[in-house]
């Protein structure tokens, strides 16, 4: 069979390793027998109930097993939920080339340099006119408006049909960046789109997403009323917002000091390529803060999501070496909470207020943030412009995906032509027809520090149990000659109150363990078996009393 006949006979699979049923770790794949194309490689920030986890990435097992087919990784834009996992991907999978826009490419290079991976992969820049030939797939691009410059959607031609991927977008008619290239999107619709993959993050909101420029008035009002130091925190990758803040600083003649490694590197890269414009004379180093009057200083920092190690959290807790909150400071959160981060943000807000700062967050009173994602009217427009035959909503929690699919159905798409999938679920395209296919392996890996092996689900579950219910540790001594306990087990508790209720049961546990273990021990019982017995006996006791299970560990000693 020659290559051309193989192309015709090979169906095309479309699936996500991350980004479905969640907001983050966007990683989408298009694959046939000969070629595998990856779109984005993002991280997801963990929710409060993932103790000790810095971020979450997809499980790349399927890519490792098929890396001989991988032709390229294509990046839609430079946000962390689309590029943040690239270092971890490169440590596990051989990627021949990364295609990215100029700004995204610069941000990726910074990230790879931090991880000592500068030479691990070739990065090739694309623009509006680029056509990429990646194995059996051809890729063309169209510019979209988002909260970071150089954001793109893509039109992918495969041997079995065409796919349009919007990337993250909103239809902003007064953008800070360039216009959304609606004409090119309509042109792709005229050529024919078999499958549309579209951003769903605001699919539960009616109307239009407000323009980025709508935030300018509120930002200027904040500058006008701030009588002391002004501290503004936003996403380090929200370069459109950062430019507006800088414009206001220049207008009100405030010097700018930048805190946060990602904020510093992103602004420097954006300045190098002309996306951020600020004279050098307006930027001051941290050690010069005390030389500037309070009402002439702007501090721009990371930490708008309450991240424990980010600059704003360290400022709020008094741990930052260069700046401490003082009465008269105004602190602005120019962002909206990512799902799961509200508790962390509220903690930082309360710390700042206790220190005497005036704190402003996005609300109906202060319009300090505009989303970069489309609401329902924009989703309807995309459907009208693209006119796809099939539709798969992407990038969102399941209720967002469902509501996005309902938008397509409302506009006349047959319900059986819409697909609400989870990570690993697969669509199969053959001769312009699409059906559900065989799933691929997809799971989450929890990153603790820079360990590429990640943390297993069992470790995460243990951490949750310890965090919620405490821990009890037993010392078990076994007389090997008698196959009996040498003395009544001794214990120590962590995070458990001793006394009535749960405490009274825990006081009885050593006697319960001694009785139950002596019934089960014999000359061949191994250490691991005894540890399992201790855990099972304790858990049965907790269940009988209908109380929450603390984590149980035991140290077993054999005495001859």
Residues 123 and 46 in one domain: yes
* CA 469 to each of CA 217, 340, 438, 462, 464: distance values in angstroms, whole numbers, following the listed order: 48, 21, 40, 10, 8
Output phi, psi for 536, to 5 deg. -65, -45
In the prediction, which pLDDT does 480 show? 87
Task: Please report whether residue 535 resides in a domain.
Answer: yes
Report the CATH number at residue 228. 3.40.50.10710
| Per-residue confidence band for 351, with pLDDT thresholds at 50, 70 and 90 | very high
Task: Please report whether residue 147 resides in a domain.
Answer: yes
98 forms bridges with which residues in the sheet?
Answer: 73, 123
- Distance of alpha carbon 454 from the chain centroid: 15
The mean pLDDT value for 100-114 works out to 93
Residues 353 and 232 in one domain: yes
**CA–CA gap between residue 17 and residue 225 (Å, rounded):** 47
DSSP alpha helix (H) spans, 411-471? 457-469
Residues 419 and 339 in one domain: no
Which of 261, 267, 243 is CA-nearest to residue 307?
261
**pLDDT of 72 above 70:** yes
Report the CATH number at residue 98. 3.60.15.10
58 forms bridges with which residues in the sheet?
Answer: 444
Last residue in a domain, options 331, 361, 391: 361
- In angstroms, how far apart are the furthest CA atoms of the chain? 85
Residues 174 and 269 in one domain: no
Q: How many CB atoms lie within 10 A of CB 223?
A: 19
**CA–CA gap between residue 105 and residue 437 (Å, rounded):** 34
| Per-residue confidence band for 454, with pLDDT thresholds at 50, 70 and 90 | low
Secondary structure letter of residue 86 according to DSSP:
H
In the prediction, which pLDDT does 550 show? 86
Residues 484 and 413 in one domain: no
Q: Given the DSSP bridges, would you call strands 97-100 and 122-125 parallel, antiparallel or unpaired?
A: parallel
**CA–CA gap between residue 398 and residue 393 (Å, rounded):** 10
Q: What's the domain count of the chain?
A: 3
pLDDT tens digits along 230-251: 999 998 888 888 999 999 999 9
- Distance of alpha carbon 537 from the chain centroid: 40
Task: Please report whether residue 345 resides in a domain.
Answer: yes
pLDDT tens digits along 279-329: 999 999 999 999 999 999 999 999 988 887 789 999 999 999 889 999 999
| Per-residue confidence band for 6, with pLDDT thresholds at 50, 70 and 90 | very low
DSSP alpha helix (H) spans, 209-304? 215-225, 239-251, 261-272
Output the CA angle 218-223-226, nearest 5 degrees: 120
Report the CATH number at residue 542. 3.10.20.580
Q: Where are the beta strands (DSSP E) in 291-370?
A: 297-301, 330-333, 358-361
The mean pLDDT value for 420-439 works out to 97
Token pair for residue 71?
């032709």
Run of H or E residues at 125: strand 122-125
**Cα distance from N-terminal residue to C-terminal residue, the chain:** 71
* CA 104 to each of CA 75, 101, 297, 398: distance values in angstroms, whole numbers, following the listed order: 8, 5, 30, 28
In the prediction, which pLDDT does 544 show? 84
Secondary structure letter of residue 406 according to DSSP:
H
Task: Please report whether residue 465 resides in a domain.
Answer: no
**CA–CA gap between residue 90 and residue 83 (Å, rounded):** 12
Q: What is residue 21's three-state secondary structure?
A: coil
Token pair for residue 92?
């596990």
Output the CA angle 409-394-443, nearest 5 degrees: 135
Secondary structure letter of residue 472 according to DSSP:
E
**pLDDT of 463 above 80:** no
**CA–CA gap between residue 331 and residue 303 (Å, rounded):** 12
**CA–CA gap between residue 128 and residue 106 (Å, rounded):** 17
Which residue range forms the structural domain that includes residue 353? 212-361
In the prediction, which pLDDT does 407 show? 97
Which of 287, 268, 286 is CA-nearest to residue 278?
268
Residues 389 and 496 in one domain: no
Task: Please report whether residue 348 resides in a domain.
Answer: yes
Residues 377 and 252 in one domain: no
Secondary structure letter of residue 180 according to DSSP:
P
* CA 431 to each of CA 159, 168, 194: distance values in angstroms, whole numbers, following the listed order: 8, 28, 10
**CA–CA gap between residue 405 and residue 418 (Å, rounded):** 6
Residues 408 and 430 in one domain: yes
C-alpha atoms less than 13 angstroms from C-alpha of 525 in its C-beta half-sphere: 24
The mean pLDDT value for 427-434 works out to 98
In the prediction, which pLDDT does 213 show? 83
Task: Please report whether residue 270 resides in a domain.
Answer: yes
List all residues 6 or more positions away from 42 whose beta carbon is below 8 Å from its beta carbon.
Answer: 18, 19, 24, 25, 26, 27, 79, 80, 81, 82, 83, 84, 85
Task: Please report whether residue 349 resides in a domain.
Answer: yes
Q: What is residue 209's three-state secondary structure?
A: coil
**pLDDT of 365 above 60:** no
Residues 311 and 294 in one domain: yes
**pLDDT of 460 above 80:** no
Which of 336-340, 385-389, 523-527 shows the highest mean pLDDT? 385-389
In the prediction, which pLDDT does 327 show? 93
**pTM of the entire predicted model:** 0.80
Residues 483 and 401 in one domain: no
Residues 203 and 217 in one domain: no
Last residue in a domain, options 412, 447, 482: 447
Q: How many CB atoms lie within 10 A of CB 279?
A: 8
Task: Please report whether residue 7 resides in a domain.
Answer: no
Return the minimum-mean-pLDDT range out of 367-381, 399-413, 427-441.
367-381
List all residues 6 or more positions away from 72 whose beta carbon is below 8 Å from its beta carbon.
Answer: 37, 38, 95, 96, 97, 98, 99, 132, 134
Residues 285 and 166 in one domain: no
Return the minimum-mean-pLDDT range out of 115-124, 223-232, 448-457.
448-457
pLDDT tens digits along 399-409: 999 999 999 99
Q: How confident is the prediction for the chain on average, in pLDDT?
A: 90
In the prediction, which pLDDT does 7 show? 46
Token pair for residue 541?
């006791």
């Amino acid at each position: 069979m020659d290559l051309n006949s193989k192309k015709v006979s090979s169906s095309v699979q479309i699936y996500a390793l991350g980004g479905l049923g969640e907001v983050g770790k966007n990683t989408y794949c298009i694959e046939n027998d000969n070629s595998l194309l990856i779109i984005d490689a993002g991280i997801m920030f963990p929710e409060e109930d993932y103790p000790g986890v810095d971020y979450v990435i997809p499980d790349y097992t399927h890519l490792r097993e098929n890396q001989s087919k991988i032709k390229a990784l294509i990046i839609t834009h430079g946000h962390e939920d689309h590029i943040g996992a690239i270092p971890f991907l490169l440590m596990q999978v051989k990627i021949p080339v990364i295609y990215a826009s100029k700004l995204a490419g610069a941000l990726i290079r910074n990230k790879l340099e931090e991880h000592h991976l500068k030479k691990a992969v070739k990065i090739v820049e694309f623009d509006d006119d680029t056509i990429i030939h990646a194995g059996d797939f051809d890729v063309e691009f169209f510019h979209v408006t988002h909260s970071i410059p150089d954001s793109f959607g893509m039109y992918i031609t495969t041997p079995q049909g065409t796919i349009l991927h919007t990337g993250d977008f909103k239809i902003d008619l007064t953008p800070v960046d360039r216009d959304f290239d609606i004409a090119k999107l309509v042109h792709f619709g005229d050529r024919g789109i078999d499958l549309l993959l579209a951003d769903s993050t605001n699919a539960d909101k009616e109307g239009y997403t407000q323009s980025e420029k709508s935030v300018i008035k509120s930002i200027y009002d904040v500058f006008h009323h701030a009588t002391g130091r002004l501290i503004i925190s936003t996403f380090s990758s929200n370069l459109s917002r950062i430019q507006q803040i800088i414009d206001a600083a220049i207008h009100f003649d405030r010097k700018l000091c930048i805190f946060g490694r990602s904020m510093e590197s992103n602004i420097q890269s954006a300045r190098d390529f002309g996306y951020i414009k600020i004279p050098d004379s307006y930027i001051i180093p941290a050690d010069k803060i005390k030389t500037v009057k309070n009402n002439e200083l702007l501090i721009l920092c990371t930490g708008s999501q309450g991240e424990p190690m980010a600059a704003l959290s360290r400022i709020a807790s008094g741990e930052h070496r260069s700046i401490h909150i003082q009465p008269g400071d105004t602190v602005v959160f120019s962002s909206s909470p990512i799902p799961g981060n509200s508790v962390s943000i509220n903690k930082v807000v309360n710390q700042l207020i206790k220190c005497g700062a005036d704190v402003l967050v996005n609300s109906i009173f202060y319009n300090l943030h505009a989303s970069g994602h489309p609401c329902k009217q924009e989703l309807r427009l995309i459907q009208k412009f693209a006119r796809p035959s099939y539709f798969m909503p992407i990038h969102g929690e399941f209720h967002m995906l469902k509501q996005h699919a309902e938008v397509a159905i409302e506009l006349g798409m047959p319900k059986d032509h819409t697909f609400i999938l989870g990570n690993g679920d697969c669509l199969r395209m053959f001769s312009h027809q699409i059906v559900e296919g065989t799933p691929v392996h997809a799971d989450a890996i929890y990153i603790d520090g820079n360990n590429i092996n990640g943390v297993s689900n069992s470790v995460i579950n243990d951490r949750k149990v310890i965090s919620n219910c405490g821990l009890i540790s037993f010392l078990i001594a076994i007389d090997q000659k008698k196959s009996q306990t040498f003395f009544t087990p001794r214990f120590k508790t962590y995070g458990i109150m001793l006394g009535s209720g749960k405490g009274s049961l825990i006081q009885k546990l050593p006697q319960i363990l001694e009785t139950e273990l002596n019934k089960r021990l014999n000359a061949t019982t191994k250490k691991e078996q005894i540890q399992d017995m201790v855990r099972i006996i304790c858990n049965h006791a907790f269940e009988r009393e209908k109380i929450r299970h603390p984590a149980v560990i035991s140290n077993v000693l054999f005495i001859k």
